[in-house]
Amino acid sequence: MEKRTLGRSEVQIAPILMGTWQAGKNLWVGIEDEQTTQAIRAAVEAGMTTIDTAEIYGEGYSERIIATALAGLPRDRVELASKVFSTHLKYGQVIAACEGSLKNLETDYLDLYQIHWPAGFMGSEVVPIAETMRALNDLKEQGKIRAIGVSNFSRRQLEEAAQYGRIDSLQPPYSLFWRKIERDLTPYCIEHNIAILAYSPMAQGLLTGKFGLGHQFEQGDNRAGNQLFQGETYERALQAIEQLRPISDRHHCTLAQLALAWAIAQPQTCAIAGARNAQQSLENAKAVDVKLSEADLQAIDRIGRLVTDRLDDRPAMWEFANDAPV
């Protein structure tokens, strides 16, 4: 799997990253540790050597599972990316959070360290971005992190953060069914050579085609609060998926692989794909072999807009996240 450069940094990452929110178990159901470790190991073996996690995923549990999965592998075989949560954005808190992630991951450096949500998210303290960036810059100077990124930032927030240090990546929700970054964030990232690390590129599994009308998630599954799984939006999504099937059939790939192939074909975009087991990791990795023509991309674009053109202006996919300051 040919790697790509992360922004202007020296970090090389896989076009499809291994996502590990589910490894933390919180807000997910039916996750088994043994299967998760096998999924991570299989992802690395298949070329998905960049692993994305966060301190908030199970309060460090995801990071510790990653360490278990990678035990015995040379450190330079993988690229590790983690995130500091919005409740830890004061200078000393950032330093402590990074040290905690390093300990959990059993490493002495992170290839990428990201601000997970902006200050003020879900009632957290509003810390000046200058203070947070000062901590990140110091960690970078000390060699504990190699690159700085942000996640879930608006364009205004991204521009402000960039005043205080080099931002090499933006991690937003981005998929064929959720394309709000294209309005103003994508042009800014292209202009300033900031890598886009798309999370939920399969729309939290919706684009796999595995869900039908009337689907009910188990209690505790975060997807129950995702806008894309609600009412008419969900019905339009299912209709769009049926129109995507002939394209995936023509390319002899799954709908999930088609969704990932579309995502990594977008400007400066890599995709973060989670997996519950080794087989899902292997299937995700094969998406790099799906080569979409310009005609394919245009057709997929038209189909996707059956969903995106009818969405409202709420910036976050989940109801609980829409109080984030912009």
Which amino acids are annotated catalytic? 57
Q: In sequence order, what are the residues at sequence separation of 6 or more whose Cβ sits closer than 8 angstroms to the Cβ of residue 289? A: none
Tokens at 127, concatenated: 């810390």
Strands (E), the chain: 4-5, 12-13, 16-19, 50-52, 79-84, 112-115, 148-151, 169-171, 195-198, 269-274
> Would strands 12-13 and 79-84 be described as parallel, antiparallel, or unpaired?
unpaired
314-321 long-range CB contacts below 8 Å, 24 or more apart?
314/227, 315/154, 315/180, 316/152, 316/173, 317/173, 317/178, 317/200, 317/204, 317/226, 317/227, 317/228, 318/222, 318/225, 318/226, 318/227, 319/225, 319/227, 320/122, 320/225, 321/117, 321/121, 321/122, 321/152
Phi, then psi, of 157 in degrees rounded to 5: -65, -40
3 state SS of 17 = strand
- Cα torsion 274, 275, 278, 281 to 10°: value is -40
- Closest C-alpha among 114, 239, 124 to residue 165: 114
Q: What angle do CA 110, 138, 156 make, to 5 degrees?
A: 85
31 contacts 276 by C-beta, under 8 angstroms: yes
Q: How far is CA 103 from the centre of its chain?
A: 22
DSSP state of 47: T
For the chain, give the number of residues: 326
Contact 88, 80 (CB under 8 A): no
